[in-house]
Amino acid sequence: MDIVNLKIKDLKPYEKNPRKNDGAVEYVANSIKEFGFKVPIVVDVDNVIVAGHTRYKAAKKLGLKEVPVIVADDLTEEQVKAFRLADNKVGEQAEWDYALLADELDEILDINMQDFGFPNMEPPEKEEPDYYGAERERTFDAYNLHDVDEERLTEKWQMPILKKCTHIPKDLISFNYAKTSKEYEKGVHFYIDDYQFERVWNAPHDYVDILRQFDCILTPDFSLYTEMPLPMQIWNVYRSKMVGQIMQDYGLMVIPTLQWCREDSFEFAFDGIEPGGVVSVSTIGVKQQPDAKKIWTAGMDEAMRQLKPKAVVVYGGDIGYDFGKAKAVYISNHNAERIGRGKT
């Protein structure tokens, strides 16, 4: 195909051209002024522009009477439509190698490349991750990080600090009945399998309205097993206290649930619980298992030493432990049994 010069007034812009190019006209006009009309306009057999609408507008802006043209008389009507779109689209698939581009621009001294749309082609800085993007928000939500208050964490273990509670519940019901129960005069405990209350950690704010109807709540009793690596034990103790702190922020009465495992857990297990308040502990499954009772007794001794609680709400029955000066309140199977100071 030959390049021919046609009068610009004889060319016809394609009325349905989907490409918006007005913003590029000035740059193309500058290019034509600087370098001449080096890239012909492509038209069909009826002189309707197939490729080069921006060059056409730039030529009119410059007052040109004639422009170089290629007549695509070898294309079918469908090919003309396809080429019109493809010619615009394929250029979008290319990217700049900014380092090489900067080198090239540095070597051009007498021509102002800003006239052609290069305002500042310094190599861009490596894009930093969007720490405030959607993925970060999902992570923050999953770990309740928006609720973390660094001023209310303990220094060493970073455990959420729970305000001292001096309230003693008359009775407790299990969390898995909280949605349907109307026994609002009772407190809510989490001495059940973890899967039944894992959802409270996943979305603690969603359960505030349900739990605030009750007399009080105990912090979730996420399991600690001797087989657990220490980081997992720390994580479950942290989660329990974090949920408790969130609930306290909503004004709920929260009693810390004591959790421990091996002796190496004693240092962090009671961290974040203010001394002198009311705490709760479970004795379920302890009495019939000597090894479990030994671990339980050692941990309870350490809790009494560190926390010096005013009272201990014991869920699961008396196993013969002497709570000393602390008031022991035994609650078993929805029947409260109050015992005065110490063991009787």
d(CA 317, CA 329): 9
Domain boundaries, the chain: 3-94, 146-341
Instruction: Quick: pLDDT tens for 123-157.
Output: 555 566 555 677 888 888 999 999 999 999 999 99
pLDDT score recorded for residue 91: 72
For the four alpha carbons of 237, 240, 243 and 245, in that order, the dihedral sign comes to negative
Q: Give 290-294 contacts, CB < 8 A, sequence gap 24+.
A: 293/319
Of residues 35 and 162, the one with the higher pLDDT is 162
Mean pLDDT over residues 304-310, rounded? 97
Instruction: Quick: pLDDT tens for 242-299.
Output: 999 999 999 999 999 999 999 999 999 999 999 999 999 999 988 888 999 999 999 9
d(CA 42, CA 25): 17
- pTM here is 0.60
pLDDT band for 120, please (50, 70, 90 cuts). Answer: low
Determine contact, residues 37/101, Cβ cutoff 8 Å.
no
Of residues 206 and 133, the one with the higher pLDDT is 206
pLDDT score recorded for residue 207: 95
Give the closest residue to 69 by CA, choosing from 113, 148, 11, 127.
Answer: 11
Chain CA centroid to CA 230, Å: 26
pLDDT band for 119, please (50, 70, 90 cuts). Answer: low
> For the domain 3-94, what is the CATH code?
3.90.1530.10
